[in-house]
Amino acid sequence: MSIDVVIIGAGAAGLMAAITSAQRGLATILIEHGKKIGPKILISGGGRCNFTNLEAESHAYLSHNRHFAKSAMARYTQWDFLDLMTKNDLSWNEKKLGQLFCDQGAKAVVAMLTNEAEQAGVDIRLETSVSALHKTGDAFQVTTDKQSITAKAVMIATGGLSIPKMGATGFAYDIAKQFDLTVTDLRPALVPFTFQNQELSFMKALAGVSVDAEVKCGAGTFRENLLFTHRGLSGPSILQISSYWREGDEVTLNLLPTIDLLAALVEARKDTPKQSLSKLLKEMLPNRYVDALLSGEAGVDAFQDQHIAQISKSECQRLSDHLQRWIIVPQGTEGYRTAEVTLGGINTDDLSSKTMEAKDVAGLYFIGECVDVTGWLGGYNFQWAWASGFAAGTAVCA
């Protein structure tokens, strides 16, 4: 069987590439080894699908080449995807920080993309595994468990290693290496931290407690909720900073990012000296956290639940330092099992930023998560999928 384009992987990037190439009149086959189209789309946002972000710009993406994403992102923006949603009578709402969610849910987004693909004439093949890919002359031979397909071009959109229970594999990286493209260091990203010993005991005791926090590590600073878990720390701020963290790095937490705690304590010693420390802190932090902190479970010397007036200036400083400059060193992360994305991927030096085509292998394209472009939490990675898929779909067989 001979075809124009074979796209391997029916996730966000693969779907967008298939729609775009087929709308240009190219005979397009979309292959997916799983039973469903867009599995990561379906679980996004707890089933509500955080499909893009109003602030999706190149600065929100990590890569060895921080400029690589600019070209594709400029040619297919969040506004373009919103136009597609409007065309299909889907609506959305902004939850926070520019994060857009589909009012009709993730299934509606997948249905929209599936319908667009089918209307464009895309041949969608589910539960089909690719066992080999070779290039002879100007054509590619794609061998599946059902048949062999000859194609003018092939796009790899199989994602990264995150969430293996959903079928994630290293297929894209294997293909890249087969054709002598390089793959940067890979690691789980947007992933919870794990701890051990006394820190873990403290966090376990607070499992389920959420705190507004500013979290810093390396070049990254994020302010969102932090969540204590039975394994350590999670929540949006932790997931965000995990992309910047490396083993042994310190992470600094400010659990009261909107106030100067030391100044508040000094003021309270003057204005409300008989107020208890516990009462004061519980006006700022969750009760369970304050109780654990004052019991000494946080790893600092316990403060007696005494009147503010009885607390020395040095103790005020120590408490302020702990709550606003709490330095932790995670033991590790929960790994690819719960990571939302894979950091690193196909080296951008080996790809065209305009078309996503391999510079030294004409007709071979890599798009989406498998490329060394990783976005922040909150719809950024979907926007990269739409943009990179559109870039490749527009350029293929041109």
Mean pLDDT of the chain: 95
Choices 3.20.20.60, 3.30.1860.10, 3.50.50.60, 3.30.930.10: CATH for 2-188+337-395: 3.50.50.60
State in Å, rounded, how far the first CA of the chain is from the last one: 21
> Looking at residues 115-141, what average pLDDT do you find?
97
Instruction: Specify the DSSP element, H or E, that contains 233.
Output: strand 232-234
Q: Kindly report, residue by residue over 293-340, the tens digit of the pLDDT.
A: 888 665 555 566 788 888 888 889 989 999 999 999 999 999 999 999
By the 8 A CB rule, do 322 and 297 touch?
no
Architecture of domain 192-333: Beta Barrel (2.40)
Place of tokens 């087929």: 22
Q: Kindly report, residue by residue over 214-231, the tens digit of the pLDDT.
A: 999 999 999 999 999 999
Q: Return the SS3 of 2.
A: strand
The percent of residues above 70 in pLDDT, for the chain, comes to: 98
Q: Kindly report, residue by residue over 11-36, the tens digit of the pLDDT.
A: 999 999 999 999 999 999 999 999 99
CA distance 141 to 118: 24
CA distance 16 to 128: 19
Which among 3, 10, 5, 14 is positioned nearest to 32, based on CA atoms? 10
When pLDDT is cut at 50, 70 and 90, the band that residue 193 belongs to is very high
Per-residue pLDDT, 302: 58
Per-residue pLDDT, 182: 98
Report the predicted TM-score, pTM, of the whole model to 2 decimal places.
0.95
Which among 288, 10, 42, 280 is positioned nearest to 122, based on CA atoms? 10
- Give residue 115's identity as a one-letter amino acid code: N
Strand partners, 100: 52, 94
By the 8 A CB rule, do 106 and 43 touch?
yes
By the 8 A CB rule, do 344 and 185 touch?
yes
CA distance 278 to 202: 18
Per-residue pLDDT, 298: 58
Asked if the domains 2-188+337-395 and 192-333 are classified in one and the same CATH topology, the answer is no
The domain segmentation of the chain, as residue ranges, is: 2-188+337-395, 192-333
Q: Tell me the CB-side half-sphere exposure of residue 206, using CA atoms within 13 A.
A: 27
Instruction: Round the CA-based radius of gyration of the chain to a whole number and report it.
Output: 25
CA distance 186 to 169: 13
CA distance 66 to 77: 17
